[in-house]
Every structure is written in C-alpha cells, then in structure tokens.
Amino acid sequence: MIDMLPSQQFDTKLYPRIVDFLPNISLQALVSPKAEYSYGELVATTGVNRIKFDPVITEYGEVMLDSTDKTKIHYFFGDPTPTKTPDTRLSTKAILSDLTTYLADGFQECFADAVLQEFHVLESIPKSLADNEKFGCIDEVKFCQKACGNHNKKYGKFMGMNFIDPYQHARMGLMSNCNVRLNHNLATRIRSTEVTTTMCGIDGNRAIDYKTYGIDAITTLEKHITQKRWWQDMATFFPFPHYDYIYCLNRERKYMPISTE
C-alpha cells in the first residue's frame, strides 16, 4: 500500500478524479492493451487457504503470498513513490506476459482476473490540449489510482439516493463494446472501482506537483482523457450535507459514493 504525504494527495473536495470501472488486469487488456504503467500492485485470489507459495522474482517485478490472507497472492512492479519520474514502463500485455511466463502451472489462471489494487498509469497529453499553456511544456501525466469498494447500498439506504451501480455499468459496457457476456467469469468477478488519489506532470526527469496546474486545468485534462473511453469517467465532488464522499460523474450525470479509506 502506498504511504503518501498529505501534500501528495488530492484535496478530493476540490479536485476531480478519474474513475475507471474495470479493475481487472485482463479487462484492461481488452480496452487498453498499450496503456503504460510505471507502478502496480495486483492482487489475485487463489480460492485455496494456506497455499504453499514461494516468492518469485519475475523479469519486471516480484510475486509473493499475502502476509495475512493466505488465499491471496500479490504481484508488484515499479516504484510506488507518487511524485517520482517513471523508471519502469510496462504495457498491460507485458504485465500479463510477465505473470504467465514466471508463475507455476495453476497460478496463471487466478491472475487472469487479478485486481489492480494500486497502480500508476502514464497518460500522454491529448492533442487537443497541445497548445494549452498549462500542459504544452510537459511530456505526459502520471495518474495514481487505487481500488475502492462499492458503497452504493450502504449510503443509499441512509441517504435515500439511488447511486450508479459501477459493477453493472462495467458489465453492460463490456457486453456492448467488447462482446463480453454478462455471465462471463471476468464480468461477474468485478468487485471494485479504480479512482485517482493524486497525479503529477512529467517533464523529462522532473515530476511537477499537481497543484501547479490548478483545478480548472486538471478538470479539462481529465475530461479530454476520459471522453472517448466508455470504461472511464470524471468524478467531481458533490457537496451533499453531512457526507464528504459523494461525487457526480461527468458523462453519466449520476452520483456515486467514493472512498479509498
């Protein structure tokens, strides 16, 4: 898990977040096989309690058994520091290939639906923003994402609100855009949603703090990045009385509770 200084995290009441509805690495390979990651922690559940599993050093990272839950295996690669320029660049396909090559028989299958628990994804500046004074001088942006659960029923009951069902939204999108059946194993195992915790600009060997850009520029950037990706949306904090974790999705125009605690 990433330990971030307060200054490295978004003030989530002010800054919008990117919401990614596909937490599984195999599903990401379907929609964005060439996406570049500089850090990742993947978690796979084996379904077997107290399995015997020795740590494995792969070409790009390391696989190890969870220290407390002996049914889970973790795969790590890259540097978890949010404000560091990327030393590692792995595509979605490369991550899956690394796991398939180095894991023993029987474990590749469980990693096929491994969840991206935390990851840093590198995004090029959209061509439509090439002339933007805030982003014209940088090469790319690093978004730090973290998996969060579905709190719809819990908060909807107390608040009397109908929130978007992120899992159903993901499954319907997979069926419409990727011909993945609603009862497919990967579709039925969606159990989390990825949300932005912080970001930074990358200018060569220099990382630029997100506060340099300001709220308006980051909002514009996230809108442009997500506008043609059905599996992503931008979420903006909604000031609902007594609740600090309600967000409004930009494209879907629906509300969603988000908490990474």
- Which has the higher per-residue pLDDT, 119 or 96? 119
Instruction: Give mean pLDDT, residues 134-143.
Output: 88
What are the DSSP E strand ranges found in the chain?
Answer: 17-20, 36-45, 56-57, 61-65, 72-78, 90-91, 115-124, 140-148, 193-203, 206-209, 232-237, 246-249, 255-257
pLDDT digits (tens, 9 = 90+) for 50-75: 677 788 899 999 988 888 888 888 99
| Mean of per-residue pLDDT scores for the chain | 86
Q: Residue 248: helix, strand or coil by DSSP?
A: strand
Q: Residue 183 — very low, low, confident or very high, per pLDDT cuts 50/70/90?
A: confident
